[in-house]
Structure 1
Amino acid sequence: MNTKVVKLNYNNLDKEAIKEAGYVLRNGGLVAFPTETVYGLGANALDDKAVKKIFDAKGRPQDNPLIVHIAEISDIETLVQEVPEVAFKFIKKFWPGPLTIILPKSNKIPNSTSAGLDSIGIRMPSNEVAREIIKASGVPIAAPSANISGRPSPTDLERCVEDLNGKVDYIIGGEKSNVGVESTIIDCTVYPPCILRPGGVTLEMLKEVEKEVYIDPAIMKKPEEKLKPKAPGMKYRHYAPKAPVKVIQGDLDFTITKINELINKYTKEGKNVGVIATDETLNKYHNAIVETLGSRNNINIIAQNLFETLRKFDDKNVDVILSEAFEEKGMGIAVMNRLKKSAGFDIISI
């Protein structure tokens, strides 16, 4: 397959390119496009054959449901059976933005999109290019992250091309995603509403709207093999670079000491070691390839840089990656969720 790649100037959008991407989607093709969270791989959410192409292109398990992206709030009406009052509150506060809301699906949504579930996740991205492409297509767009399944999600155009060139019809974009991790997923088919994936809209932000919101405790631990995922990212190993990842969790002195011990151990075994550090600890590690996520004082920047940093270690052919951990509050919950899953829950703690 010949993949067309278009890099946009966000200050002067190429309307013809957006129109062309919309045409491809409307007619059953696959288009990778930018959102504020990560880049997405889109297909017509109502076209069973088109949706199945997503699973083929990504190598994605068929029981992993997709998120449907819309351009206008009114687009939700025909896609779901009902919108509970609490969901309306979240929509009013956080759309457009990095929040996916799970609702009872209508019969317009094929089982391939919902992975056979009676519910579907809906989101309205804040990225202007994403919404313009959805409008140009004239259909709701099912879109997981635009990467090979299991790998770190792409936050720029170049990483989409790296993973999907020759596997999709069109890749369009330009700027880096500014959130850096996938959307928060909240289940509003139950009460209290339950967070099934942490993301850019934090637990604290959601509690300001509905104080009873809670996080499913299962998402921060290794999932059971028999789990039937209600939302993307719940069951399978995700966000993983080629080298195994090990997360070291504890106070900073313990973390630095333990990582240096492991560097020495792996180096003696002849392994090339990568370390995920922060600005504050960048110079604390030796005999390793060290990448910083940014300052510990800015967890949003750490989230923004996480996936690209994991991919850099692929570029440098490391044999093992050792990562510092972060406080699990605010965006730190989303960062740690992604780190733990990238490590397959291989965690060393005090």
Structure 2
Amino acid sequence: MSILYPGAAQIDEAAALLDAGELVAFPTETVYGLGGDAENPDAIARIYAAKGRPANHPVIVHLAPEGDPAYWVQSLVPDALKLIDAFWPGPLTLILKRAAHIPAAVSGGQDSVGIRAPSHPVAQQLLSAFSARRGGHGGVAGPSANRFGHVSPTTAQHVRDEFGATVHVLDGGAADVGIESTILDLSRGFPALLRPGHVSPQAIADVLGVAPRLPDGSDATAPRASGTLKAHYAPRTPLALLPFAAIEALLASHGASNVQKIALVARASSALAWAQAPGVHFVAAPEDPQTYARDLYGLLRALDRANVERILIEKLPESIEWIAVNDRLGRAAAAFEAQE
């Protein structure tokens, strides 16, 4: 189904709200962002307050296609220029040393800043309109438009479900990518992947000629970055990520007499045997990483509405192709590990 994108008047209204220090939720190709003027500490504080986000957790600055990334950073290092040329506009965030005139609030008090240029046409129109009001240098701080730690929104309705009428929302349809941008740190003299996403480590290595350092929990000097806390992206329904054999054992012990169902999300062919089982709400998981990523957050939100007692998700392959989806599912499950 096609969607009628916001017109010029709606874009201009949203840009004016941003200019006045208000918040605007807007679509990107990854997820919907909760936007505010990235150079206005009061607007940034409104973002943190609306989300319930810790003040030391940085937000990403979104730039118009014609925006000047050099305005936001101390130096556009050669690797950054290569990656911008290869992947912008698109779902890649670069972490660089923050320019002195950029408020520390946007970086959670750190000396670095995350910047990206989204490819969604509505985001680009909004960012261009806002930037024009700021002499070509406007940027929009835009973490995901949801309560902190909860499932990110991939439709305008998801944003409305989170904030009701308290936030102005531009509707740009469903997000094509469906998970947050890849975050690559270039602030320490070498490329380090802080958050996996649609732009893969291999694609980055192909451009830079060197593979980025992968996140393994041992990089103590890494800057804090959006979406990298151990527990994140969580539904409200308890979720466990398990091998299919362990899931089958839990389902067998659950029993059909229980009033509430257990949700099963699995790719294994043997999972089909549970599709019609009493007490089981079965969802066939997508077979490829891109489709799984695109559908993930919508699925988790739907399962929150499905009156299930628990969500059981089959563990995915540990291959590099699945690194981004595994990252999101692992953090979602971590939110409930203390409750086991």
C-alpha displacement of 1:8: 5.8
Asked if 1:284 corresponds to 2:273, the answer is yes
Listed one character per residue, the Cα deviations across residues 83-140 of structure 1 (whole Å, up to 9, x for unaligned) are: 1111111111000000000000012221211100000000000111101101111220
Judge conservation of contact 1:80–1:104 (CA < 8 Å) in 2. Answer: yes
- The answer to whether the aligner puts 1:312 opposite 2:305 as a matched pair is no
Equivalent residue runs for 1:230-249 within 5 Å: 230-249=224-243
* Cα 1:311/1:109, change in 2 over 3 Å: same
Distance in 2 between residues matched to 1:36 and 1:74, nearest whole Å: 18
1:165 is displaced (CA, Å) by 1.5
Structure 2 distance, partners of 1:304, 1:166, is 26
* TM-score of the aligned structures, taking structure 2 as reference length: 0.89
Describe how 1:156-167 pairs up with structure 2 within 5 A. Answer: 156-167=155-166
Structure 2 CA distance for partners of 1:42 and 1:345, relative to 1, 3 Å: closer
Question: What CA distance in whole angstroms lies between the structure 1 residues aligned with 2:321 and 2:55?
Answer: 29
Q: Cα distance, 1:278 vs. partner?
A: 3.4
- Percent of matched pairs sharing the same residue: 35
Matched AA of 1:327: P
Letter in 1 for 2:103: P
SS of the residue corresponding to residue 303 of structure 1 reads helix
Structure 1: segments with no counterpart, 5+ residues: 1-6, 250-254
- Tell me which residue corresponds to 2:247: 259
C-alpha distance in structure 2 between counterparts of 1:212 and 1:191, whole Å:
13
Q: Does the alignment pair 1:339 with 2:337?
A: no
Deviation, 1:271, is: 4.8
Amino acid aligned to 1:232: S
Q: Aligned residues, how many?
A: 325
**1:100 & 1:82 partners in 2: Cα distance?**
16
Unaligned runs of 5+ in 2: 132-137
Aligned positions of 1:1-350 closer than 5 A:
9-10=4-5, 13-72=6-65, 74-138=67-131, 139-168=138-167, 170-210=168-208, 211-218=210-217, 230-249=224-243, 255=244, 257-267=245-255, 271-278=260-267, 280=269, 283-285=272-274, 286=277, 287-294=279-286, 296=287, 298-344=288-334
Tell me, yes or no, if the aligned pair for 2:29 and 2:91 is still in contact at 8 Å: yes
Query: Following the alignment from structure 1 to structure 2, what is the Cα–Cα distance between the partners of residues 14 and 118?
Result: 38
Report the alpha carbon displacement of residue 328 of structure 1 after superposing the two structures with TM. 3.1
The 3-state SS of whatever aligns with 1:162 is helix
Q: CA deviation at 1:160?
A: 0.7
**What whole-Å deviation, never above 9, does each CA across 1:56-78 have from its counterpart, x for those lacking one?**
11111111100000003542121
* Match in the other structure for 2:135: none
Once the two structures are superposed, residues 211-247 of structure 1 have per-residue CA deviations (whole angstroms, 9 ceiling, x without a partner) of 231212129xxx99xx996111122521111111111
Within 2, Cα distance between the matches of 1:282 and 1:180? 25
Alignment TM-score, normalising by the size of structure 1: 0.87
- In angstroms, what is the RMSD of aligned CA positions? 2.3
Secondary structure of the structure 2 residue equivalent to 1:41 = strand
